[in-house]
Amino acid sequence: MIYEEALLQNTFGKREVFNARRLWLTGDTEGLAAAQAMNALFRSECEIFMGCAVMPALRMAYFASPGDLGVGEPDSPWIVAASETGADVCLCRALEKATELGAFTVLVTCNPHSPAAKAVKRVLAVTPEEEGGAILALCGGLAAIACRIADAKRCTEPGAFGRWQAAWTEYRAQVRQALCRQEAGLRALAGCFANIRALETIGDDACGGAARYAAIRLGGKRRLPSAVCDSEDWCHIGFFLRDPQTVGALFIVPSHAPSALRSRESIAMAQRIGRTVGIITDGEKTDGDTAGLPQANTLCLPSPPQAMSWLFVPFAMNAIHILENL
């Protein structure tokens, strides 16, 4: 999230921000995970003036009507897409359609010369980090746009962008230090899923985006059947009931989340039926217990500032990126 504030102000003018009455987040496979992860931030900062929601590119391209999107006013709705390559066919079609209908289309991408970039009105180019991968860059770009919208609509106090920048940079440094200290724990968490035949990834609300990303990266890389769900569905339904000891379950659980208690119950149940359980959470690990979670292969990230709890999710995805490469 290292951007010049003037760049964002020049890219997204006040008139264009004020005209927006609705905002949709979308993306290709990993971009959709980033969109889902950052949707909570857009809702908290921007929903007082505009509706914010996630829509898959496939639905937007082939099934959504102009009325579904909220087309009808200048520069509204905003369609904000995230994509590393900008080459996904469905995403390109969705952005072409939205632009033709008069929506204000924006692409956050690592490839500003991609086909998708040619289909939108504005492009915010981001650079993948060696340790964070493209997903962290995409999330940072989306966060910067959310801050620009909130600032232009006076939802935040003056200087908010600088504070967000500083918080992102500081938290990134804390996460890197924590991951270095927990190198053995990282390898243990990666190793516990070495011999599984299927993978479940579980996350609530914004962590659903991290769960989706984990299924793509950890399950897709190993060509494993994968299921993505939240803790409530898992607790009441569960998946892959045959040979449970061969199934991995990765829970992404921020300790501050309203659903943390339900997640703990789901984790305990997963362990009782023999799942191989891994957890990514925040807070300090003491006496085998992390933020009240049952014992398992646990990776602990630092707790983000209370006012910026949304920081946990993109950096949990950063940790998943690192797990994939171990």
As given in the structure block, the two tokens for residue 12 are: 């997204």
Each residue's pLDDT tens digit, 248-289: 899 999 987 888 888 888 888 888 888 889 999 997 654 444
Return the number of other C-beta atoms located less than 10 Å from residue 6's C-beta.
Answer: 8
Decide: helix, strand or coil at residue 26. Answer: strand
Beta strands in 133-260 (DSSP E): 198-203, 226-229, 247-253
Each residue's pLDDT tens digit, 172-192: 999 999 999 988 888 888 888
Stretches in the chain below the pLDDT threshold 70: 1-2, 47-49, 155, 235-242, 284-296
What pLDDT, on the 0 to 100 scale, is given for residue 240?
A: 56
What pLDDT, on the 0 to 100 scale, is given for residue 1?
A: 62
Question: Rounded to 5 degrees, what are φ and ψ at 190?
Answer: -65, -40
Measured between alpha carbons, how far apart are the two ends of the chain, in Å?
25
What pLDDT, on the 0 to 100 scale, is given for residue 209?
A: 95
Q: How many Å apart are CA 126 and CA 306, to the nearest integer?
A: 27
Cα dihedral 286/176/297/196 (nearest 10)? 180
What pLDDT, on the 0 to 100 scale, is given for residue 239?
A: 56
Q: How many Å apart are CA 49 and CA 81, to the nearest integer?
A: 20
Q: Is 131 exposed, middle or buried (0-12, 13-18, 19+ CB in 10 A)?
A: middle
How much is the pTM?
A: 0.90
Decide: helix, strand or coil at residue 248. Answer: strand
What pLDDT, on the 0 to 100 scale, is given for residue 287?
A: 40
Q: What residues contact 211, with CB distance under 8 A and at least 6 apart?
A: 201, 202, 203, 228, 229, 230, 250, 252
What pLDDT, on the 0 to 100 scale, is given for residue 284?
A: 61
